[in-house]
Structure 1
Amino acid sequence: MSVWYLMLFVMGSAVALGLSEIYELETPAIAAGVVLGLPAVYLAWAAFRADRAEASALDEDTAAVELAKAVTNWLNEEARFRRIYESQPLPVVWRAADEDLIEDWPDVAGLARSWPGGGPGDQAHWARDAAGLSGQDAEIGDVFLKKVPTRRLVILGEPGGGKSVLLVRLLADLMGRRSDGDPVPVLFSLASWNPRHPLKDWLAEQLRREYERLSDTAPTLLTPPREGPGDLAQALVDHGRILPLLDGFDELPPALHPVALKALSRELPIDQPLVLASRTAVYRAAVALNPDTGMSVNGAAAIQLLPVEPPHAAAYLRRNGDGRAGHQWDMVIARLGTDTPVGQALSTPLGLFLARTIYAPRPQAASVPEPPHPNELCDITAFPTRAAVYTRLFDAFIPAAYGPDHRRPPRWSAGQAQQALAVLARHLEAHRGGSTDLAWWELGMTVPTVPQYLTAALVTGLFGAVTVGLVVGISFGLVLGLVGMLVAGLVAACASPYGLDSALPGQYPSRRYRSGLMLGLMAALVAALLVYGFAGGRAAQYAGLIAGAAFWSMAGDLTLGRVDLAERVGPGTVMAQDRRNLFQIVLVYPLGFGLLGVFLCGLTSPFPGIPAFGIGGGLAVGLTAGFAYGVAAGYRETAWAAFAVTTTCLTVLNRLPWSLMGPWSLMAFLQDAHEHRGVLRQVGTVYQFRHIDLQRHLAQAQHGSPSGP
């Protein structure tokens, strides 16, 4: 009802001013009436916002339940893409980690017994020693919940050894056993964490980005009081309602490994359950360099993933072959479990996946060349090391994934895919410090600043020229629109203090956007009425237009919020939301400014002695100014505009193939690489390469000799 009251107030003010003109009343009196009504306007608007906020508030228990549902939905999709539950999957087997990587078992058990209640779970089920942690596959849930006294576990393994898959299995097991009130297990990728910043704050920030309404203000006070946002995400983390499963410790910059290990031990409460996954060698080095005298994660047990046993590896390789075709693996299988380069490379799930993808027999069309034969991997002269075998597998993986004989033929050739993926990988290595998080809104870093600005100006200039020209006539509109929008494009691009890549994607919920639009429009009209009423004269109309536009921009921005994701969503959903926001902003500003232009410049003269512009002229002035404001606001408040400029520049500069020109094409390519090629994986709102060594290989493909894991 408050919004309707505001609408009536503005309409009444406009009618009052119109009547004052018709009957030649004193405009200062009308303006004074408007001023007297402003307090009521503010109180009505504030009451409306407070009522809506109170009605939509969540408590922590409800937030935890909804978070668990979102995790389950994501888990089902991830398990399908990773084929975790396919028939006869590769088994993941582990044993206790080496003694130098863990605390003494009596100390771990003693620590748990010292907690109130004697530690989690039934002590009778605790492992008697570290050797009791051995197991495989589905046993990971029992190992974590029953056998580890502190419920703190480190999962170690070789590159491509199955650590991430085991984490997903554990997440599924924990969600299946979870009861109301239990912490919600959530999988986090540590690649974007800076260990010099508080871990709890980073965990909360990840939740805000990916889950429903967790950026809403928490209804309960945080105890103890803390600085920073007191929202649901922070409350869930601070109150122990989250069980973090931390993947990719080894993907942090090497210099930060000891700092990260120290932070994991010191910043989380000692009774906080957690799981950490890392490469064995990286974790060993971090433990040795840990400032806390070579300590591992405080109170944590650790397991070491074992190589895939030769019988399981052989069965996996032959699974797609039958009859004579299955015998193509005989020479390779004879070397499994040995110290030969191919035997070492195919001892991990990653190596086996790559080999089967590349060499597995598939139905051949007459125009499709014969695939390579796996026997080539046994050539010690060509591939003398494990790294050399991996280099060959990475080289052949993209052509196999994008081959014409693939079960789902791609829209892009292998060469086009190789070119695009190499650009993306080099972006992560060169501009993101080796991070694994491929965020579409950060791709502006790959393009020099000047081409971005020029492209932004050209695109917005042509768009504005055509739009204004269609409304008021091609000859006048093209000139006015082109000049105005070229300037607007340059101003909008340069307005970002850090370049186009600094924009972040945002979703402005429709309710909040409508409120902002309504308040902004009313503020513009009220400001114009006030200035006109007090100043009088024709020249004051321009001052009213400028003041109204400024109030409109400020009021609209005050009510527009950042991302409120309805659930854990993917990059495509975030981009679609951000694109809608941009179109709303760019279209709304010209509408409002066009009406103001007709009223202030078209029907009346702006200055004495100068005739009125007419409806067409006033509309042209308003549309041009509106597009200028809209473009600037769009670049400032959304990331999609900069992303569109970036993809255009990358194509024009011949860094991306022309088939990937434009944001829609590139996002379709990324989605296909995730869902159908197995090249990318999705982690919340970003993509990652299936394995960091694949990312590094692609980044180096045209810049020296890549090395395998």
Structure 2
Amino acid sequence: MAEDGEIHNQSTGYVAGHSVQAGAVHGDILLLPQRSALLGAGEAQTKVVQDLATEVRTLSAQEMRHWGITSADALSVRWHTASEDLLDHWEKIHGVTGRDDRMSLAGHFTVIRDTYQAIHSKRLVILGKAGAGKTVLAHRLIIDLLQDTKVPGPVPVLFSLSAWSPASTGLQPWLVRQLLRDFPFLEARDPATRKRMAEALVDSEMILPVLDGFDEIPARHHPDAISEISDVDWPLVVTSRSGEYTRAAHEVNAVGRAAAIEVQDLSVEEAHRFLRLGTTKSRSPEWDTVFNHLRTAPGDTASQNLTPVLTTPLMVMLAHTIHNGTPARHPDELLDTRRFPTDTDIEEYLLGRYLDTVYRDRDTNSRGKRQPDWAPDRVRHWLGYLADHLGQRNTHDLTWWQLSTTLRRSTRILTTMGAVGLVGGLAGVLMVGLLSAVGGFVGTLAIGSSRALALGLAAGPAIGLAAGLATGLVNEVRLRHRHTAVEPERLRLRIRRNTERARHFPGTRKLLSGFNAGFAFGFAIGLVGGVLDFVSGLVGGFAVGLVVAPATGLAVGLVNVVLVVLGDSHDPREAVSPWQLLRTDRTVTLIRAILAGSTVGLSVGLVDGFLSTTVFGLVAGFAVGLMVTQAFLLRSTWGTWLLFGRVWLPLTGRLPWRVKRFLEDAYDRGVLRQAGSLYQFRHARLRDHLARHYRTKR
């Protein structure tokens, strides 16, 4: 069958016996089970769309619960149509020639879906000041649009724009990459186009991008971002702080064919109602006293300081958490002008006290586990480090595999050298110790003399340090080339596959690519090891390297092929999380490292055993295999996390020893939010507050 200049064979239905393809096989092979749900290509995509919609709705609902927001007790956030200079031409928004009438988009929290659907172009920009509740509003829109997940249609998916560099990456490929990161089951192939489902859904406009945080893109890239977003002619939603978007719109233009709304400040009455109803009847008069003062004395300093603070949803939520959740704290303290001479002082106080409040002892978290009792000053220090780390990277996305990227380059290289050198030293000691214990005098003769034993003790750490330096430099080259850490493996290894999903077999080109990459790296490691053996005067010298190099390359290449062949698409029923990616990457890394180390160790053992004695060959093979295994571990994403995230950063006091537990607990307490496979601080103001205090006390 010819299609787009390509020829392919297609067989459908039941086949009794063998199906034979004569000639060369190019590209990928896709086997689909004979099942009604997967018979048609369109039906296969529809099933994926439904799975994605269910997953997205669950994640947004989960975030709303963590914010403590329900329809009944939500703040009455309102908005109005933005000014004309922040919208495109009404004729383009309406999509009707000659119709340029301005329409009112005014509304409140519970009708955001109606507002969006009233826009013919289905392109909306949500504006507001910091803390106005734009992200919450975006999640509410997602939930409302996905009320009926059985109806196929574009799936609204939240994308954090802080991770996008529009100057180097187009919007469409970036969306595909983010989808693959956060929803690994979209790696599956579309039967119709043979593209990955993420790419197929983006190309067919089955994704409704909710682009959160335009203001988080560096200002120098705003023109490129506006241009890229405008060029994508689909329905979409953008959120941004008003000031940043206004400057970009005036410099370039507003987002093409997009209407815009601007979230209004809360009224004093709305804030009063929310805070008094959020506490007990016995304590609600305390808030009455505060708001009565604001109404009766609007001109005094206390009122002028506090009123603008309580018109921002974020600050009202913080005040609710701090004063309604802590009996010892009374809201009238916010009127004390000696403690709070400006409104900024009140905001900084609320941001600071928020952590003290949420880290008070709790019996259990949302998963039913007892929460750890962290020391408040240490919590502030650890969170401050993470906030400063994100600030240096100019992003809001906190990922476990990026934690080492803001350390000094020399620190990363020396730490890697030390780790591999330590194992090399242990391997040298182990090598000599086993020879002495097992072989005795024969073991000494096996390598020549007692001087050779001393050389073995010295060579172990030396080779380890050299290998560590090589590993550290390789990691730095990759980091410099990619401008970011290598992301975790997405493969899901299964011997028994799910017969209800399409099975995808990688084509010859992909298998060769995996083999070649593995062979090149393995050959280099083996050759360097052989040269170091020769320089160190070890038995076999360069002959060992000549065997180890191709053996290592062959091992790693074949391991890559096995991993690709056994890789299965992720099950959409399994929720994506940062730690799911960690477990997957750990599994792939351990298999690759152990198989490569075993093969290299066996090769060294055979060669050294042939050139020397069996005892020496066994011990040398084990020691070298151990060092190769560790080199592969430290080259991986999981190995880097293990060395820096679990050892170096806790050892230097930047993070606690139980990093995973700490991040999960911060999420349970509402300090962090989860966005697919990463964490973010609940709000940029909180992140900036913590980073600022961390830098001043460092």
Shared fold by TM > 0.5?
yes
Query: Is it true that 1:71 corresponds to 2:44 in the alignment?
Result: no
Distance 1:48 1:634, change over 3 A: farther
Q: Paired residue for 1:441?
A: 401
Equivalent position to 1:248, from 213, 226, 236:
213
CA distance in 2, matches of 1:509, 1:544: 32
CA distance in 2, matches of 1:655, 1:538: 43
Contact persistence 1:468–1:623 (CA under 8 A) = no
Equivalent position to 1:325, from 283, 292, 314:
283
Q: Paired residue for 1:502?
A: 485
Query: Is it true that 1:358 corresponds to 2:343 in the alignment?
Result: no
Query: Is it true that 1:141 corresponds to 2:113 in the alignment?
Result: yes
Which deviates further from its counterpart, 251-260 or 564-573?
564-573
Distance 1:315 1:469, change over 3 A: farther
Distance 1:413 1:208, change over 3 A: same
Letter in structure 1 aligned against 2:200: A
Query: Is it true that 1:423 corresponds to 2:406 in the alignment?
Result: no
Query: Is it true that 1:380 corresponds to 2:379 in the alignment?
Result: no
CA distance in 2, matches of 1:674, 1:412: 14
CA distance in 2, matches of 1:539, 1:388: 69
Q: Paired residue for 2:418?
A: 458
Q: Deviations over 1:311-355 (max 9, x none)?
A: 432233234532443333334333568672211111122101111
SS at 1:444 equivalent: coil
* 1:143, distance to aligned residue in structure 2 (A): 1.7
Letter in structure 1 aligned against 2:229: L
Q: Deviations over 1:245-269 (max 9, x none)?
A: 111111111222233223222x212
SS at 1:214 equivalent: helix
CA distance in 2, matches of 1:640, 1:498: 17
Contact persistence 1:492–1:631 (CA under 8 A) = no
Q: Paired residue for 2:665?
A: 672
Query: Is it true that 1:174 corresponds to 2:177 in the alignment?
Result: no
Contact persistence 1:332–1:378 (CA under 8 A) = yes
* 1:305, distance to aligned residue in structure 2 (A): 1.6
Equivalent position to 1:262, from 202, 205, 227:
227
Contact persistence 2:71–2:110 (CA under 8 A) = no
Q: Paired residue for 1:534?
A: none
Contact persistence 1:503–1:642 (CA under 8 A) = no
Q: Deviations over 1:429-471 (max 9, x none)?
A: 12x1x21111221111232233333333333444566689779
Query: Is it true that 1:399 corresponds to 2:356 in the alignment?
Result: yes
CA distance in 1, matches of 2:579, 2:680: 14
CA distance in 1, matches of 2:436, 2:97: 83
Q: Paired residue for 2:650?
A: 651
Q: Paired residue for 2:136?
A: 165
Q: With structure 1 as the length reference, what TM-score do the two structures score?
A: 0.74
Letter in structure 1 aligned against 2:181: R
* 1:195, distance to aligned residue in structure 2 (A): 2.0
Query: Is it true that 1:276 corresponds to 2:238 in the alignment?
Result: yes
* 1:691, distance to aligned residue in structure 2 (A): 0.9
Q: With structure 2 as the length reference, what TM-score do the two structures score?
A: 0.76
Contact persistence 1:213–1:566 (CA under 8 A) = yes
Q: Paired residue for 2:683?
A: 691
* 1:688, distance to aligned residue in structure 2 (A): 0.9
Distance 1:546 1:149, change over 3 A: closer
Letter in structure 1 aligned against 2:235: P
SS at 1:506 equivalent: coil
Contact persistence 1:468–1:620 (CA under 8 A) = no
CA distance in 1, matches of 2:568, 2:408: 28
Letter in structure 2 aligned against 1:457: M
* 1:129, distance to aligned residue in structure 2 (A): 4.4
RMSD: 4.0
CA distance in 2, matches of 1:397, 1:551: 56
Contact persistence 2:555–2:595 (CA under 8 A) = no
Which deviates further from its counterpart, 201-210 or 211-220?
211-220
Distance 1:625 1:303, change over 3 A: same
* 1:416, distance to aligned residue in structure 2 (A): 0.9
Q: Paired residue for 1:530?
A: none
Q: Paired residue for 1:313?
A: 271
Contact persistence 1:335–1:342 (CA under 8 A) = no
Equivalent position to 2:309, from 338, 342, 345:
345
Q: Paired residue for 1:15?
A: none
* 1:566, distance to aligned residue in structure 2 (A): 4.4
* 1:240, distance to aligned residue in structure 2 (A): 1.1
Q: Deviations over 1:609-648 (max 9, x none)?
A: xxx422x432222222222332232333434434532553
Equivalent position to 1:130, from 82, 103, 110:
103
Contact persistence 2:409–2:476 (CA under 8 A) = no
Letter in structure 2 aligned against 1:173: D
Q: Paired residue for 1:207?
A: 179
**Aligned pairs, number:** 598
Distance 1:428 1:545, change over 3 A: closer
Distance 1:539 1:103, change over 3 A: closer
Distance 1:377 1:626, change over 3 A: same
Distance 1:129 1:546, change over 3 A: closer
CA distance in 1, matches of 2:131, 2:214: 14
Q: Paired residue for 1:572?
A: 579
Q: Deviations over 1:677-697 (max 9, x none)?
A: 211111121111111111111
Query: Is it true that 1:98 corresponds to 2:83 in the alignment?
Result: yes
Contact persistence 1:332–1:342 (CA under 8 A) = no
* 1:564, distance to aligned residue in structure 2 (A): 6.2
Query: Is it true that 1:629 corresponds to 2:628 in the alignment?
Result: yes
Which deviates further from its counterpart, 486-495 or 618-627?
486-495
CA distance in 1, matches of 2:468, 2:318: 46
Contact persistence 2:559–2:592 (CA under 8 A) = no
Distance 1:475 1:161, change over 3 A: farther
Contact persistence 2:187–2:197 (CA under 8 A) = yes
Which deviates further from its counterpart, 280-289 or 565-574?
565-574
* 1:599, distance to aligned residue in structure 2 (A): 4.0
CA distance in 2, matches of 1:624, 1:618: 10
Q: Paired residue for 1:80?
A: 65
CA distance in 2, matches of 1:649, 1:379: 44
SS at 1:173 equivalent: helix
Contact persistence 1:599–1:618 (CA under 8 A) = yes
Distance 1:141 1:631, change over 3 A: same
CA distance in 1, matches of 2:675, 2:436: 50
CA distance in 2, matches of 1:351, 1:668: 28
Q: Paired residue for 1:20?
A: none
CA distance in 2, matches of 1:475, 1:357: 66
CA distance in 1, matches of 2:136, 2:174: 23
Distance 1:112 1:193, change over 3 A: farther
Letter in structure 2 aligned against 1:396: R
SS at 1:681 equivalent: strand
Q: Paired residue for 2:4?
A: none
SS at 2:187 equivalent: coil
Q: Paired residue for 1:183?
A: 154
